[in-house]
């Protein structure tokens, strides 16, 4: 089965629709199957004691709640994202951080295996929110959950409640030290949850370990993408720039071609002439 590749734009658009379209373009050129966003109602998601704190931003100093609203897209902008992704023939969906956002995203569909369906992802931070993940299950046709910063018991409970279609292995450190990636947990999840697809959401520097995740059985791969890792924003540094994204997708596709099949060895056509030269048969 072809690995599905997600370029996570997340909040790296910094509230700019123009920048968002550039990132979608890069994802398309690279060969990604999807782009992903993060949808929040800041009035619900931002803790009360944080809302009025002053934050320095590229747009000047403002309260934290005003900043969160500034970078949050509304219906008009998501309608344009939906239109633009359809024009570019790339799927899109979002991580949902509250019930309002679940309701909002339930109005958009994307294609998985030729079916136009409602797709959502529960981020690692919220898989212990039983009410939210249950509501997301009710409102989505295909539900993803991410497992960062969670114990095995917390993951088991989230899977029991949400019955996810896809479970992402991830480490929620941005960027993640490679010695803490624990990639073999992908195999653990694959053996434990045979009815679910298993994916890998990476936040590490570099691409090599993401290729390793594919070899270990990840059927979906998600990496944050950016135009420039030095841009302002909390997720930029742990993201992949355009050249890296092109290399990532090509590398995964090359791996798929190289795997062959689990079967007795066969001689390929390219070897036959060499066999005749060296063995005479």
CA proximity to 8, closest of 32, 42, 29, 43: 32
The pair of three-digit structure tokens given for residue 161, joined into one six-digit string: 């409640």
pLDDT at site 41: 97
Express each pLDDT in 41-93 by its tens digit. 999 999 999 999 999 999 999 999 999 999 999 999 999 999 999 999 999 99
Superfamily of domain 4-279: Aldolase class I (3.20.20.70)
Altogether, the residues listed in the chain come to a count of 281
Query: β-pairing, 54-57 with 60-63?
Result: antiparallel
Peptide bond into 175 cis (omega under 30): yes
CA proximity to 232, closest of 15, 8, 54, 24: 15
Return the percentage of the chain with pLDDT > 90, whole number: 96
The pair of three-digit structure tokens given for residue 35, joined into one six-digit string: 């782009």
pLDDT at site 261: 85
pLDDT at site 260: 87
CA proximity to 182, closest of 155, 153, 202, 205: 202
Strand partners, 105: none
Query: Span 170-181, mean pLDDT?
Result: 97
Every domain of the chain and the residues it spans: 4-279
Residue 78 makes CB contacts below 8 A (sequence gap 6+) with 104, 108
Asked if residue 10 lies in contact with residue 66, where contact means CB atoms within 8 angstroms, the answer is no
Count CB atoms within 10 A of the CB of residue 228: 11
Express each pLDDT in 51-64 by its tens digit. 999 999 999 999 99
| Three-class HEC string of the chain | CCCEEEEEEECCCCCCHHHHHHHHHHHHHHCCCEEEEEECCHHHHCCHHHHCCEEEECCEEEEHHHHHHHCCCCHHHHHHHHHHHHHHCCEEEEEECCHHHHHHHCCCCEEECCEEECEEEECHHHCCCHHHHHHHHHHCCEEEEECCCCCHHHHHHHHHHHCCCEEEEECCCCCCCHHHCCCCHHHHHHHHCCCCEEEEEECCCCCHHHHHHHHCCCCEEEEEECCCCCCCCCCCCCCECHHHHHHHHHHHHHHHHHCCCCCCCCCCHHHHHHHHHHHCC
Reported confidence tier of residue 1, pLDDT bands at 50, 70, 90: confident
Asked if residue 77 lies in contact with residue 135, where contact means CB atoms within 8 angstroms, the answer is no
What is the pTM assigned to this prediction?
Answer: 0.95
Q: Taking all residues of the chain, what is their mean pLDDT, rounded to a whole number?
A: 96
Asked if residue 224 lies in contact with residue 12, where contact means CB atoms within 8 angstroms, the answer is yes
Query: Span 255-272, mean pLDDT?
Result: 91
Q: C-alpha 197: how far from its chain's center?
A: 14
Q: How far apart are CA 223 and CA 214, in angstroms?
A: 13
Reply yes or no on whether the pLDDT at 172 is more than 90: yes
């Amino acid at each position: 089965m072809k690995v599905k590749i997600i370029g996570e734009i997340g909040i790296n658009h910094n509230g700019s629709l123009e920048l968002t379209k550039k990132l979608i373009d890069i994802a398309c050129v690279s060969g990604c199957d999807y782009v992903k966003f993060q949808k929040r109602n800041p009035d619900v998601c931002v803790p009360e004691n944080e809302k009025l704190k002053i934050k320095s931003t590229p747009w000047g100093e403002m309260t934290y709640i005003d900043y969160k609203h500034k970078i949050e897209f509304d219906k008009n902008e998501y309608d344009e994202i939906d239109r633009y992704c359809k024009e570019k023939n790339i799927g899109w969906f979002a991580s949902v951080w509250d019930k309002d956002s679940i309701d909002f995203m339930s109005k958009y569909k994307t294609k998985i295996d030729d079916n136009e369906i409602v797709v959502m992802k529960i981020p690692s931070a919220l898989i212990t929110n039983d009410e939210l993940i249950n509501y997301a299950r009710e409102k989505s046709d295909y539900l993803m959950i991410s497992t960062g910063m969670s114990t095995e018991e917390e993951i088991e409970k989230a899977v029991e409640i949400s019955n996810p279609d896809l479970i992402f292995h991830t480490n929620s450190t941005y960027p993640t030290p490679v010695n803490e990636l624990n990639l073999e947990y992908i195999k653990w999840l694959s053996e434990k949850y045979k009815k679910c697809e298993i994916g890998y959401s990476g936040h590490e520097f570099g691409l090599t370990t993401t290729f390793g995740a594919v070899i270990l059985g990840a059927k979906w791969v998600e990496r944050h993408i950016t135009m420039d890792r030095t841009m302002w924003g909390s997720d930029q540094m742990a993201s992949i720039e355009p050249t890296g994204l092109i290399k990532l997708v090509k590398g995964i596709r090359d791996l798929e071609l190289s795997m062959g099949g689990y079967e007795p060895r066969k001689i390929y056509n390219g070897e036959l002439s060499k066999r005749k030269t060296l063995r005479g048969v």
